[in-house]
Amino acid sequence: MFSRSVVLAGCIALGFGCGEPPDETQEIVANLVNAGFPSSDILVVDGKVYAGRDAEVSLAASREMLAVGATTDEQYRTTNLVSASLTKICVNGPAFTGVFSTALDLAIQNYDELPLSFAMARAPSTGCSFTINAVIDPNMNGGVAGFPANGNPFGQVTIGGLLSQYGVDVIEHVITHEIGHTIGFRHSDYYNRTISCGSGGNEGDAGVGAIHIPGTPTTATVGSSIMNSCFRSVESGEFTSSDLTALSAMYTVSAPALVSGLASNRCLDVTGGSATQGTPVQLWECNGTAAQQWRLTPQGELRSNLSPNLCLDVSGGNPAQGTGVQIWECNGTTAQRWTMVGATVRSALASNLCLDVFNADTAPGTRIQTWQCNSTNAQNWFVR
């Protein structure tokens, strides 16, 4: 990933301005050119070749590209993903200090705070299933990484030291982007790098696949994804809604249901399985879908498995009895804080306010509300 306003100095193919490369490097570059990559999108640094200027290409992958036809599909994950057997990915960046250290911590947090199939932590840490090495290249303005293989993430991300001119949010953005490559994200605008970079062509399949992730846009716009090819001088460092949807589709594991104490086959359900903000929750026949899967976070949020950034929310933050309950973008307010006390689910809006089935009615579609805690089965919920 590189800034759209800065040209990286280095050994740009095809000129090989840093001296004659080894034969293997020459073949990789030649294969990329024959596969249709423009020379401006091929980068050679320390004998390694990058397509799209931040995805490392091996000799084998470059040879495979010659057998891959041109694609116009607007897709953005690789064929290979990280194995479900990896429960914790660690990132080791001993050279990261100051704003780079802060940005690395924030980038790791971007992934770790989501209900994914793996946790993510900064090394040293215990229980690491795989460790990605993070290094700084003082002469680079951007970052580079590779894609998963054999069920493991790519083993290294390189972050440019020249990013210090932009500040911590941009550095966080670039690190998050490069970690995204290591777990299987393609550029969201891989099919037309001009969208975020101002110039450039189609990266194509690149020998690693370019598969559209369900529920995400098939076209990119500037600022629409942390996985756009090029960054801007002002970035937030945070995932966009489409990034969160993509991560959820790729790596979210199933979560438990909340079963009503009124009947063993009635669950807390998002109406119609809609991920739209403001959709009310209801009582519905238990069916095992994402609309009925809820994950309690350490912060006391009940996050819906429909989308990683949707929380169970008391409408309008109103502590009055009878207020409806809905899903809403997670925002850290007390309207979205819940505590499990025995079999009850208690709202942080008031000390004696519980999640309640309206009128203790077991009919599918019955509304869910908050009500003064009263120890009835209409307020009992069991995890299953």
Q: What is the DSSP string of 86-104?
A: --EEEEE-TT--HHHHHHH
Question: Which CA distances in Å does 145 have to 59, 76, 114, 182?
Answer: 16, 16, 22, 6
Query: Which tokens hold the place of 337?
Result: 């804080």
Query: Which tokens hold the place of 247?
Result: 């991560």
DSSP 202-247: ----TTT--BPPTTS-SS--TTS-TTSSEE-SS---S--HHHHHHH
Confidence at residue 317, expressed as pLDDT on a 0 to 100 scale: 98
Residues whose CB falls within 8 Å of the CB of residue 226, separated by 6 or more in sequence, listed in order: 173, 176, 177, 180, 238, 239, 240, 243
For the chain, how many helices (H) and strands (E)? 6, 23
pLDDT at 9 over 50: no
Q: Which of 268, 272, 266 is nearest to 296 (CA)?
A: 268
Query: Which tokens hold the place of 245?
Result: 């949807």
Higher per-residue confidence, 38 vs 171: 171
Confidence at residue 69, expressed as pLDDT on a 0 to 100 scale: 40
The model's pTM is 0.60
Do 307 and 248 meet the contact criterion of CB atoms below 8 Å apart? yes
Alpha helices by DSSP H, listed for the chain, are 23-34, 59-65, 98-112, 168-182, 194-197, 241-251
Decide: helix, strand or coil at residue 295.
strand
φ/ψ of residue 194, rounded to 5: -60, -30
Q: Measured between alpha carbons, how far is 152 from 89 in angstroms, rounded to an integer?
A: 9
Confidence at residue 19, expressed as pLDDT on a 0 to 100 scale: 30
Q: How many residues does the chain have?
A: 384
Q: Model confidence over 76-121: pLDDT tens digits?
A: 788 899 998 898 999 999 999 999 999 999 999 999 988 788 999 9
Q: Model confidence over 43-77: pLDDT tens digits?
A: 787 778 776 556 677 776 666 555 444 333 333 78
Q: Which domains does the chain have, with CATH numbers?
A: 2-65 (no CATH), 88-251 (3.40.390.10), 258-383 (2.80.10.50)
Give CA angle at 265 (260, 270), nearest 5°: 65
Confidence at residue 155, expressed as pLDDT on a 0 to 100 scale: 98
pLDDT at 160 over 60: yes
pLDDT at 352 over 90: yes
The sheet with strand 55-56 has its strands ordered as 11-12, 42-45, 48-51, 55-56
